[in-house]
């Protein structure tokens, strides 16, 4: 199957179940809400070593936020409710509460919950105020910039992590041009994040390693420098392989983001250095969610 | 068959205790059983059929009571679910101990509206008497949850000893609003009488109109930008359309901490334009 001359390989992306929370961060203006969101989603590219995967979902208009101020929605993913709760609490406490004028609310009505204000309220040292409005509890913590408002809990829901596709390009520059276009298009899809720097992974991994202490290592099958040295599917023209990883609240959201992203890459075609699209999987052993590229692009 | 409507046909000489008139209690009762239902409040119990015309059958979800000048006490008392719509005003103790559902009153209510209420929504179109959302003299707490919306004025001692929940008053309120409050939120769009917040422990009094003399035991924190105002306005506007005027409030309020004689963990919020700035 080819799209605009770009080969879509007959393979699938393999994803696995996660837990996710959406946090709505507001502030006096979008700039400061974005400062808080960027701090919160920093060092959150992969659960391999970051504890969670997080990213900015979209900016929110004042009419879309609980307190009528500009805001940013971020999604945080982790492998378990316990791990997610730990990360949400630390990141909201250290990154949102410390941002001048910022407030933090839950953006999901999940069956499970991760504490936020319930624990952070103690920063108020007894001066914190609780308000229950519309069945939800909010904490008003007096801080030096004025008042930090934080919802009691963040709703948590089941989600999907590790959706992906690979862009096989002639050069790194051409691969990045395609990925930048893909990320721009994918950022318009709701309920997903691309947690890596700029949304793009330059060092995609496989599960396991020859070293027993290492849970993940380089995916040699797609390393251009190892062509000839290992079993490798890359054609001689491929000089760079970039991966876009997608975490989503639902499989449908990942499917749509993948479709939109691949479509944006393929628009450049082989003349602009985009040779093929592939995906990372582990033979179906890693997770129950399989996104077959050719089905998606039909 | 239409929903059950009770229309007052004869003016009783004494107040009627209407605490038994709940959708769940009347559900499935025949017209004969309804007519024979006993109402207290006077020297002798009286039958419902003596004073009300009965139309329709109650399905357990809704009940309409049309009042024509009688003092109907305890309307919606201990209501847990369903809706009661009252036309023509309510007497004393309406929504007392209510835990859920909706009590909607057109025509005002007398004293002790929503005393001891724990949940649900009460809306009153018209003026309300004293001790709205307040505790009875022998009780520790007044309003203990839920939302009370008054589209009119209230008398004295609004929300006395309130512990939880929200009271919204679109008009003015009398003296000593929020006195001895433990927690919760009271919003008054109109003017408020003297002594508001006296002995307040925690909780918020948002007084948007002119305020008469406030207790000397409140200390001003000055004018502060409070995003909480936006949150409160939006949550209340979502909960009840009569609260939508709150959306026009700006974020700058003078915050008065108090009552300092009772811990000082409560607050009176005054719009910056009307704040006293002492």
Q: What is the pLDDT along chain A (298 residues), one digit of tens a residue?
A: 999 999 999 999 999 999 999 999 999 999 999 999 999 999 999 999 999 999 999 999 999 999 999 999 999 999 999 999 999 999 999 999 999 999 999 999 988 999 999 999 999 999 999 999 988 999 999 999 999 999 999 999 999 999 999 999 999 999 999 999 999 999 999 999 999 999 999 999 988 899 999 999 999 999 999 998 988 879 999 999 999 999 999 999 999 999 999 999 999 999 999 999 999 998 887 889 999 999 999 8
- Tens digit of each residue's pLDDT (9 = 90 or more) over B29-46: 999 999 999 999 888 999
Among A127, A132, A147, select the one facing B227 at the smallest CB separation: A147
Check residue A87 and give left, alpha or beta (phi > 0: left; psi -120 to 50: alpha).
alpha
| Residues of chain B neighbouring A67 (CB-CB closer than 8 A) | 227-228, 230-231, 234
Structure tokens at A29: 């203006």
| Residues of chain A neighbouring B165 (CB-CB closer than 8 A) | 132
Positive or negative torsion for Cα A251, A255, A260, A261: positive
B167 contacts B143 by C-beta, under 8 angstroms: yes
Q: For B250, name the nearest residue in chain A, comparing CA atoms only.
A: A68
Among B230, B239, B267, select the one facing A134 at the smallest CB separation: B239
Three-state DSSP at A272 gives helix
Three-state DSSP at B187 gives strand
The pLDDT assigned to B2 comes to 76
Q: Which residue of A24, A132, A151 to mutate against B (max B Cβ within 10 Å)?
A: A132
- Residues in chain A whose beta carbon is closer than 8 A to a beta carbon of chain B? 26, 28, 66-69, 101, 103, 126-127, 129-134, 136, 138, 140, 146-147, 149
Element (H or E) spanning A104, and its range? strand A103-106
Three-state DSSP at A239 gives coil
B277 contacts B256 by C-beta, under 8 angstroms: no
The pLDDT assigned to B102 comes to 98
DSSP A170-189: SSHHHHHHHHHHHHHHHTTS
- Residues in chain B whose beta carbon is closer than 8 A to a beta carbon of chain A? 164-166, 183, 185, 202, 204, 224-228, 230-236, 238-239, 247, 265, 267
Residue A228: Cβ-neighbour burial (10 angstroms; 0-12, 13-18, 19+): exposed
The pLDDT assigned to B1 comes to 57
Residue with tokens 């239902």: B37
The pLDDT assigned to B277 comes to 39
The pLDDT assigned to B274 comes to 58
The pLDDT assigned to A231 comes to 85
B44 contacts B23 by C-beta, under 8 angstroms: no
The pLDDT assigned to A228 comes to 87
A129 contacts B265 by C-beta, under 8 angstroms: yes
**Partners of residue B254 on adjacent β-strands:** B223, B270
CATH dotted code for B74-271: 2.160.20.60
Binary contact (A66, B231; C-beta < 8 A): yes
Nearest-angstrom CA–CA distance, B183 and B162: 6
Domains and CATH numbers, chain A: 2-14+160-297 (3.30.70.520), 19-157 (3.30.70.520)
Domain definitions of chain B by residue range: 1-61, 74-271
Nearest-angstrom CA–CA distance, A142 and A100: 12
* Count of H-run helices and E-run strands, chain A: 6, 17
The pLDDT assigned to A111 comes to 87
Q: B24-31 long-range CB contacts below 8 Å, 24 or more apart?
A: B24/B60, B24/B80, B24/B81, B24/B82, B26/B58, B26/B60, B26/B63, B27/B58, B27/B59, B27/B60, B28/B57, B28/B58, B28/B60, B29/B58, B31/B57
Q: Which residue of A129, A135, A139 to mutate against B (max B Cβ within 10 Å)?
A: A129
Three-state DSSP at A32 gives helix
The pLDDT assigned to B278 comes to 36
Binary contact (B234, A68; C-beta < 8 A): yes
Q: For B239, name the nearest residue in chain A, comparing CA atoms only.
A: A134
Residue ranges in chain B whose pLDDT is less than 50: 277-278
């Amino acid at each position: 199957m080819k799209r605009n001359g770009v080969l879509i390989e007959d393979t699938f992306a393999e994803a696995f179940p996660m837990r996710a929370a959406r946090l709505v961060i507001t502030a006096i203006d979008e700039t400061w809400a974005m400062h808080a969101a960027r701090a919160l989603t920093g060092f959150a590219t992969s659960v391999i070593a970051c504890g969670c995967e997080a990213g900015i979902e979209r900016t929110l208009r004042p009419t879309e936020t609980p307190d009528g101020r500009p805001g940013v929605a971020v999604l945080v993913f982790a492998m378990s409710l316990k791990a997610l709760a730990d990360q949400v609490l630390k990141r909201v406490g250290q990154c949102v509460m410390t941002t001048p004028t910022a407030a933090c609310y839950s953006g999901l009505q999940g069956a499970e919950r991760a504490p936020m204000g319930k624990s952070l309220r103690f920063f108020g040292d007894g001066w914190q105020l609780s308000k229950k409005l519309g069945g939800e509890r909010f904490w008003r913590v007096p801080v030096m910039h004025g008042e930090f408002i934080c919802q009691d809990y963040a709703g948590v829901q089941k989600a999907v992590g590790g959706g992906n596709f690979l862009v096989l390009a002639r050069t790194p520059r051409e691969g990045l041009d395609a990925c930048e276009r893909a990320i721009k298009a994918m950022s318009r899809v709701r309920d997903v994040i691309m947690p890596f720097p700029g949304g793009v992974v330059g060092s995609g991994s496989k599960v396991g390693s020859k070293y027993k202490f290492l849970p993940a290592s380089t995916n040699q099958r797609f390393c251009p420098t190892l062509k000839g040295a290992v079993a490798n599917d890359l054609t001689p023209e491929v000089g760079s392989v970039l991966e876009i990883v997608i975490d989503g609240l639902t499989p449908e959201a990942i499917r749509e983001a993948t479709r939109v992203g691949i479509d944006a890459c393929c628009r450049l075609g082989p003349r602009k250095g985009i040779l093929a699209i592939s995906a990372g999987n582990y033979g179906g052993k890693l997770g129950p969610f399989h996104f077959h590229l050719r089905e998606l692009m039909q | 068959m239409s929903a059950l409507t009770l229309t007052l046909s004869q003016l009783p000489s004494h107040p009627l205790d209407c605490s038994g008139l709940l959708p769940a209690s009347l559900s499935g009762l025949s017209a004969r059983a309804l007519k024979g239902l006993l109402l207290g409040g006077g020297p002798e119990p009286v039958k419902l059929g003596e004073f009300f015309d009965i139309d329709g059958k109650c399905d357990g979800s809704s009940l309409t009571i049309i009042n024509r000048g009688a003092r109907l006490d305890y309307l919606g008392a201990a209501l847990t679910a369903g809706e009661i719509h009252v036309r023509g005003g309510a007497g004393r103790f309406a929504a007392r101990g209510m835990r859920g559902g909706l009590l909607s009153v057109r025509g005002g209510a007398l004293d002790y509206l929503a005393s001891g209420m724990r949940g649900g929504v009460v809306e009153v179109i018209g003026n309300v008497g004293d001790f709205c959302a307040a505790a009875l003299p022998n009780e520790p707490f007044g309003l203990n949850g839920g939302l009370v919306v008054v589209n009119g004025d209230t008398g004295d001692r609004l929300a006395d000893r309130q512990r939880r929940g929200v009271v919204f008053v679109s008009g003015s309120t009398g003296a000593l609003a929020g006195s001895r409050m433990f927690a919760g939120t009271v919003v008054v769009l109109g003017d408020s009488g003297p002594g508001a917040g006296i002995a307040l422990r925690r909780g918020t009094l948002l007084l948007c109109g002119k305020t008469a003399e406030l207790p000397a035991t409140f200390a001003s924190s000055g004018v502060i930008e409070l995003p909480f105002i936006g949150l409160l306005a939006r949550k209340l506007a979502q909960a009840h359309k009569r609260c939508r005027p709150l959306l026009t409030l700006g974020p700058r309020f003078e915050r008065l901490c108090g009552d300092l004689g009772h811990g000082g963990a409560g607050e009176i919020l005054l719009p910056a334009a009307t704040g006293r700035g002492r």
